Amino acid sequence: MSKEPDRLFAQPLPQVPDFAFNEDVVRVFPDMIKRSVPGYPTIVENLGVLAAQFAQPGSVLYDLGSSLGAVTQALRRHVRTDGCRVIAVDNSAAMVERCREYLNGQDSMFQELLPVEVIEGDILALEFQPASVVALNFTLQFIAPEERLALLGRIRQSLLPGGALILSEKLRFNDPEEHALLTDLHVAFKRANGYSELEIAQKRSAIENVMKPDSLEEHRERLLAAGFSKVVPWFQCLNFASLIALP
């Protein structure tokens, strides 16, 4: 994957445009996500380990909002269950192009990887096949809030017994003090990773209209309303968390 450092917001912009997963973002994405999302490498690596516990023979594993395929590759490496295959979906043409290149490169480096199909498309329009694992790794927060329940309902309907949804998100907190503390600590995390105050401020304004985090309570209630029976948080680092939802 590209090692280009993220300097997208380093210079003052007369007007900060809404954040989009375009070619500029794709070029710096691995660096951006690692320096912006506390716990990201731990979540991605362990998603493969978790998925291996839920994968059912002959089923599909979905990576929804796959970006450059980091989660897909973790699934392909860790899952050994017979007849499984991975379907990665993203609606950014630039992401999908680079994702395919990356995954093809991995095929030539590792043996025994699960087969994968990368689809350029909207996950809201996807016809789900029977699935044992669905990963939504920092994707639901970019879906319009009014679409989220219906999407989770469709995922729930596609899940096989013994399967799971793994949902990772940035969190909002209902308690104002808790929200302020974890937001400040996230800013400190970004600063420690070399982002300037200007970069942090411009990025905040770029994402505020396109990325709408929910609280843990909202996630839990919506997942139960979508038909999931159990919601188990397995990881939290500052204001970023990952949940397992069981059908």
Ligand X SMILES: Nc1ncnc2c1ncn2[C@@H]1O[C@H](C[S@+](CC[C@H]([NH3+])C(=O)[O-])CC(=O)[O-])[C@@H](O)[C@H]1O
Kindly list the residues in this chain that would bind ligand PPY in the complex (CB under 6 A): 19, 32-33, 36-37, 170, 203, 207, 211
Residue 123 in contact with ligand X, rule: CB under 6 A: yes
CA atoms within 13 A on the CB side of 81: 22
Residue pair 187/144 in contact (Cβ under 8 Å)? The answer is: no
Would you state the structure tokens that stand for residue 160, as one six-digit string? 């096989």
The listed partner (ligand X, ligand PPY, none) that binds 30, CB under 5 to 8 Å by sort, is none
Q: Which single residue is written with the structure tokens 């900060």?
A: 16
Span of 101-109, 120-128, 186-194, 222-230 interacting with ligand X by CB under 6 A: 120-128
Residue 226 in contact with ligand X, rule: CB under 6 A: no
| Total residues interacting with ligand X, rule: CB under 6 A | 21
Q: Give the separation between CA 162 and CA 244, rounded to whole angstroms.
A: 12
Distance of CA 225 to the CA centre of its chain: 21
Q: Give the separation between CA 203 and CA 147, rounded to whole angstroms.
A: 25
Residue 33 in contact with ligand X, rule: CB under 6 A: yes
Would you state the structure tokens that stand for residue 224, as one six-digit string? 């139960």
User: How far apart are CB 82 and ligand X at their closest, in Å?
Assistant: 26
Residue 91 in contact with ligand X, rule: CB under 6 A: yes
Which residues is 119 bridged to in the sheet?
89
CB nearer ligand X, residue 120 or residue 224? 120
Of the residues 56, 59, 67, 81, which one makes contact with ligand X according to CB under 6 A: 67
Q: What residue ranges bind ligand X (CB under 6 A)?
A: 21, 33, 44, 65-67, 70-71, 89-92, 95, 122-124, 137-139, 142-143
